[in-house]
Structures are given as C-alpha cells and as structure tokens.
Amino acid sequence: MVSIVPVDKEFQNIYSGLAFPDNDVYNTLEQTTKSTKDAQKTGVSIENPRPSVPSCREAAVCLGLLSVLLLTAIIVLCVHYNRQLSQTDTSRLMDEVEQLRANHSALAAAYQGLQSENKNLTLTNHMLQADNDNLTTALGHLSKEKTEAEAERDILNQTYTMLLQYFPVESYCPVKNDTWEIMCGRCLPGWKLFESSCYYFSTERKNWMDSRTECRKLDADLLIIENLAEQRFISETIELYDELRWAPYWIGMTDAINETVWVWVDSTLTTTLFWASSDPNDNGNEDCATITKSQMHSTSWYDEECSKSFRWICEINALKRSTETMAADTHTQLRT
C-alpha cells in the first residue's frame, strides 16, 4: 500500500490570498503533481519536498492594498455619484417646490377672485330678485290698470256710439283731404263763430215759420240778440241780396202770441232793443222781427209780416273747445 504524504500546509498557504499566481508557481505544482502520480503507480512513498518558490507575501499585501484602494475608490465614486444625483434631485425638487408655490399663489389669487366674484354675483342676484319682485308688483298694478282701462274704453265706446246718434260728430270734425287729419272746430262748416255762439246765414228765402223749422233741423233756432256787440257783429256780417235796400233777415222774435209783447223764441222777453225809429209799428199785421244791414247798428230791427219770404239767421251754442285750442293748450302745458 502506498502511503501518500499530505502536502505541507505551508505549501498550501503560500498561495492563499493570491488572485493571479505566476508561472513558476504553476510549474512547481505541475511537477509535484506528476511525481505524486508516478509514486502512486509504483507504490513508492514519496515525501513532498518544500518547494523552492520565491516569497509572494509582498505581492499579496500589494494586491490587498490595491483591492482596498479599489474598494475605497468605488465607494468614493458611489458617494460622489449619489451626492451628485442628490444635488440634481434636490435642485429639481426645489424648482418643483417653487413652481408649486407659484401655482399655489396663483390658485389662491384665483380663489380670492372667485370668492369676490361670487359675492358680487350673490349681491347682483339679490338685486335682480328685488327688481323681479318690484316688476311683478308693477305688472300686477299694470294688469289692474289695464283691466280698468279696458272697462273705461268700453264705456267710452258706448258713450261715443250714443253721441253719434245725437251729435253730428262727422259734421263738426271734417277730415282734411290733403292730410286725412280730423280737425274738430267749435262750429259746423259754413257757420260763423262769435264769442260762444255759432251763426248760420242762409242764402235761401222762406217765411218766418219755415225759416225757424230749417234752423231746428240743424238743432239750432232763430237768432236771439242779447247785447250791442252781438248786434254789431250780425249787422256787419249780413249781406245785401236781390237788390233790396235793407236786405232783411228773420230773427227769433215775435209778438204773434200777445200783440206788442215781443218775446224771443226761447220765450224770454226782449230787454235789449235795437228797433229802427219807426218800428215796431204793426203795419198790416207785422208780427215777426227782422234785422238789416246798416251802419246804424243800434237801429236796424224792423217788424214784418210773418208770411213774407226773407233770408234767416240760425244760432247755436258753440262747442267749448276746438281741436286747435286743445292742441295749443296741450303744447302750452308741456312747455310749462
């Protein structure tokens, strides 16, 4: 039996810690291994001699120091790299923080603006609600006034319809051909206005009774003279006709009911008299009065037979106001 001497521990420790053994070491190991194998084959015990390897302790120490330095360098590089990354991240984070602060400030300002706008909108809403309440109240009043106005309009329409039956509106309010404007005068067309009365001077000739009938057809009556101013107006307005020197016109005075008692057609006694010097003389049943055109205004009445045919004068109360007067008064009121 071949006994194999184990390799000396010192021989093994020579290469401990070496990362890269040199060629001599490998050659020695190769020779030793080969001798050992030959001895095992022949059964001869071979004792391992101490190799003559040069000492590598200094190399091992150098390699350890290099490893330490390498590790230190790696650590330093990692720390530096991490520090650089930390500084970069810190700078980026600071920028983000500043951006977030700026965004926060902008959002805070926007929030304040929205709060202010909300307050304004709330106030506006309250004002609009108040206006709406006022308009609703006003609408109620207007609806009530509209109803009252419609009722008043209906009454006025009824009154107007009744007036048309008894009052010649179309006669007093003719339409102008050029402007189609309705103008209401105080007198009917063809009548003459003096103070508060309208006078119609006929161009036909009838007896006293028929003349009065014609006046009544016009809702008027024969003339009643009440004062000298009216007497002068009538005397100056009448015209001569048929070459008659005195051109008589029937007026509304007679003594046919009671001789020598002259009364007007409204049954009032005559208090103002403008008779000619020779009249009334009742010559041949002269019971009806006439007026003539004369420069002597206070002496132009004559009595005549009621059956004679003369022109006549009708009188009616004038309307209180005309369209022109009302328009002028309205314009004056607007100016004041």
Write the burial class of residue 195 (CB in 10 Å: 0-12 exposed, 13-18 middle, 19+ buried): exposed
For residues 163 and 171, the answer to whether their CB atoms sit within 8 Å is: no
Between CA 325 and CA 193 the distance in angstroms is 14
pLDDT for residue 161: 77
Which residue from 219, 232, 225, 236 is spatially nearest to 318, judged by alpha carbons?
219
CB atoms within 10 A of CB 159: 10
- The CA radius of gyration of the chain, in Å to the nearest whole number, is 73
pLDDT for residue 134: 93
Calculate mean pLDDT across residues 253-280. 87
Total length of the chain:
336
pTM score, whole prediction: 0.48
For residue range 162-195, what is the model confidence (pLDDT) as tens digits? 766 666 666 666 666 665 566 677 888 889 999 8
Write the burial class of residue 7 (CB in 10 Å: 0-12 exposed, 13-18 middle, 19+ buried): middle
Domains of the chain and CATH, by start: 9-54 (no CATH), 192-317 (3.10.100.10)
- Written as one letter, the residue type at 121 is L
Angle at 334 between CA 331 and CA 336, to 5 degrees: 110
For residue range 257-270, what is the model confidence (pLDDT) as tens digits? 888 889 999 989 88
Point out which residues pair with 201 in neighbouring strands.
313
For residue range 295-336, what is the model confidence (pLDDT) as tens digits? 787 888 999 999 999 999 999 998 765 544 444 443 444 344
For residue range 209-240, what is the model confidence (pLDDT) as tens digits? 999 999 999 889 999 999 999 999 998 898 88
Calculate mean pLDDT across residues 37-52. 50
